[in-house]
C-alpha cells in the first residue's frame, strides 16, 4: 500500500499570501511517499522514517496522549506563551499527529498493528513543501488502507491542521498544491488552476535555513504586517500570471528580479544568497528564493533560477547543490 504526494515551488507571492494577497505555486517532480505494511503487535503503530533510519512504535492510546499534548502546546503558541519550535518535540510527531487526527476524525478502528514507512526526495526545510507532502502521502495511504472514500476536503482540512503545528499559521498553499498537483493561483484559501509553466527552470539548494517557516512568518509579521509592500507583491503576481500564459521568458525574468528585491526588503534573503542572486542577474538570468527564506544564517533553502543554461560553475563556487526540476500535473495518489 503506497501513496505519493508531490513537493511544490512558489513562483511568486511567498509571504504575501499570508496577508490575503495572491501567490502562484506549482507541483514539482519530487515527492514524499508513505507505505503501509500490515503486521506487528495488536493496536501498535510503527513509524519508520527511512531517510533518517529512525523507527518508533506507539499504541493508539499513546498517540492520543501525544495529540492532546501537541494541541495544548499549539494553544500556548497562539497565546504567545510558547515558540513555534516548541510545539513539537521532534519531526516525526507531525506525522504521528496526522495519523491519530484522521483516525479519530473519521472514527476508524485499528484491529491489527501495522508500520508506516516514510521516505522523501524533497529537500527538507527548504521551502518545497516537504512536510505537507509527507503528511498528505500518510493521510492518503491511511484512507486507502481503511477503505475510506477519498474526499479532497477531508485531506485538505486534516493536512492544514497538521501543518499549523509546524508553521504556526499555514497559508494552505503547500497542502493544496501537493493534494491536487499542477499549478494554481492561490488567495485567501481559494485556488484557481492555471497551466503548468513552460519556462526554463533550475533549482539551487542553498542549504536548510537556521530559521523555520513559522519563525520567518512571525518575524515578517512583526515588522511589515501593516505595510503597503504586499500590494507590490500582488502586482507582480498578477503580471506573472499573464507572462506565464504567454510564455514570455523575458517578462518572467523581469518579474522574478522584482520579486527578489521585495523579498530582500522584508529581510528574508541572507547576504550570501543575495550575492548569488546578484551574480545570476549579471549572468543575464533571474533568481529568487522559493519559500520563507531565512532571517538568520547564510542558508535560505531553495532558489529558483530562470535561465536556459544551468549555472553549474556558479553553484560549484558557492557550494550549492544544482537540481533538475519539472512540473508535476498529478497530486497525492495511491500508486501501489
CB of 15 within 8 A of CB of 266? yes
List residues bridging with 204 in a β-sheet.
303, 322
Report the candidate in 68, 248, 232, 261 with the shortest Cα–Cα distance to residue 165: 68
Q: How many domains does the chain have?
A: 2
Same domain, 220 and 280: yes
Query: For the whole model, what pTM was predicted?
Result: 0.86
186 and 271 in a single domain? The answer is: no
Same-domain pairing of 82 and 174: yes
- Burial label for 57, CB within 10 Å (0-12, 13-18, 19+), is middle
Residues 115 and 238 in one domain: no
- DSSP state, 327? B
Q: Which residue carries 501501489 as its cell? A: 336
**Among 291, 289, 295, which residue's Cα sits nearest to residue 320?**
289
In this structure, the answer to whether residues 182 and 269 fall within a common structural domain is no
* 162 shares a domain with 23: yes
Identify whether the C-beta of residue 8 lies closer than 8 Å to the C-beta of residue 301.
no
Shared domain check, 182 and 128: yes
Digitized pLDDT (tens) for each residue of the chain, 336 residues in all: 799 999 999 999 989 988 999 999 999 999 999 999 987 667 789 998 877 778 888 899 999 999 999 999 999 999 989 888 899 888 889 889 999 998 998 888 888 889 999 999 998 877 788 889 999 999 999 989 998 877 888 888 889 889 888 877 777 888 999 999 999 999 987 899 999 988 889 999 999 898 888 788 889 999 999 999 999 999 999 999 999 999 999 999 999 999 999 999 999 999 999 999 999 999 999 999 988 899 999 999 999 999 999 999 999 999 999 998 899 999 999 997
Which secondary-structure segment (H or E) carries 195?
none
Do 186 and 53 fall within a single domain? yes
Domain with 168 in it: 2-193+328-334
Specify whether 215 is located in the same domain as 318. yes
Amino acid at each position: 500500500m503506497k501513496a505519493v504526494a508531490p513537493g511544490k515551488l512558489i513562483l511568486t507571492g511567498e509571504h504575501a499570501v499570508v496577508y490575503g494577497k495572491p501567490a502562484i505555486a506549482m507541483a514539482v517532480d519530487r515527492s514524499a511517499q508513505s507505505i503501509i505494511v500490515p503486521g506487528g503487535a495488536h493496536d501498535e503503530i510503527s513509524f519508520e522514517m527511512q531517510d533518517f533510519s529512525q523507527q518508533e512504535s506507539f499504541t493508539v492510546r499513546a498517540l492520543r496522549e501525544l495529540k492532546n499534548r501537541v494541541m495544548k502546546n499549539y494553544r500556548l503558541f497562539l497565546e504567545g506563551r510558547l515558540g513555534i519550535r516548541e510545539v513539537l518535540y521532534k519531526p516525526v510527531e507531525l506525522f504521528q499527529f496526522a495519523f491519530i487526527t484522521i483516525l479519530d476524525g473519521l472514527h476508524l478502528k485499528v484491529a491489527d498493528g501495522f508500520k508506516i514507512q516514510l521516505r522523501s526526495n524533497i529537500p527538507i526545510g527548504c521551502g518545497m513543501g516537504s512536510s505537507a507532502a509527507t503528511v498528505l502521502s500518510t493521510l492518503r495511504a491511511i484512507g486507502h488502507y481503511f477503505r475510506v472514500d477519498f474526499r479532497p476536503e477531508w485531506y485538505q482540512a486534516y493536512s492544514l491542521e497538521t501543518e499549523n503545528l509546524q508553521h504556526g499559521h499555514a497559508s494552505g498553499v503547500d497542502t493544496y498544491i501537493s493534494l491536487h498537483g499542477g499549478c494554481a493561483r492561490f488567495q485567501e484559501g481559494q485556488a484557481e488552476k492555471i497551466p503548468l509553466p513552460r519556462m526554463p527552470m533550475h533549482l539551487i539548494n542553498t542549504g536548510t535555513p537556521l530559521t523555520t517557516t513559522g519563525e520567518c512568518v512571525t518575524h515578517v509579521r512583526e515588522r511589515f504586517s501593516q505595510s503597503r509592500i504586499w500590494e507590490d507583491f500582488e502586482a507582480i503576481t498578477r503580471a506573472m500570471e499573464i507572462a506565464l500564459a504567454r510564455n514570455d521568458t523575458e517578462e518572467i525574468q523581469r518579474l522574478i528580479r522584482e520579486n527578489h528585491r521585495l523579498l530582500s526588503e522584508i529581510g528574508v534573503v541572507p547576504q550570501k544568497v543575495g550575492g548569488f542572486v546578484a551574480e545570476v542577474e549579471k549572468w543575464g538570468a533571474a533568481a529568487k528564493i522559493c519559500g520563507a527564506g531565512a532571517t538568520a544564517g547564510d542558508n535560505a533553502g531553495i532558489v529558483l533560477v530562470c535561465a536556459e543554461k544551468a549555472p553549474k560553475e556558479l553553484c560549484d563556487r558557492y557550494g550549492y547543490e544544482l537540481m533538475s526540476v519539472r512540473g508535476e500535473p498529478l497530486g497525492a495518489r495511491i500508486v501501489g
